[in-house]
Amino acid sequence: MQMRFDGLLGFPGGLVKPSEESLEAGLSRELKEEMGVAVPLYYVRFLHSVCVKPERDEVGQRSEDLTMWKPN
């Protein structure tokens, strides 16, 4: 969660233009822009997306961390 422009807490978000970049590349870019976290593409695997607002092509997506570390 992060502080939004309106003073409320919210999840980071952003837009991906499929004609310009893959969903994985868009996720990596948005993580860097929104949270300052650099995530190489090879650490991200796209799992699925859900269309939230068809009129705006708003899509939610879920990705999976592919690092080797596993919690105990």
Q: Domain for residue 72, yes or no?
A: no
Q: Which of 17, 20, 19, 37 is nearest to 28 (CA)?
A: 37
Which helix (H) or strand (E) segment holds residue 27: the answer is helix 23-35
Pull the structure tokens for residue 34.
């929104």
Instruction: Return the pLDDT at 52.
Output: 62
pLDDT of residue 61: 55
The residue range of the domain holding 40 is: 2-65
> Is 70 domain-assigned?
no
For the stretch 16-64, pLDDT in tens is: 777 888 877 888 888 888 888 887 776 666 666 666 665 655 555 555 5
Does residue 65 surpass a pLDDT of 60?
A: no
Specify if 25 maps to a domain: yes
Nearest to 42 by CA among 67, 70, 62: 67
71 lies in a domain? no
Q: What is the count of structural domains for the chain? A: 1
Which band of pLDDT confidence, cut at 50, 70 and 90, is reported for residue 5?
A: confident
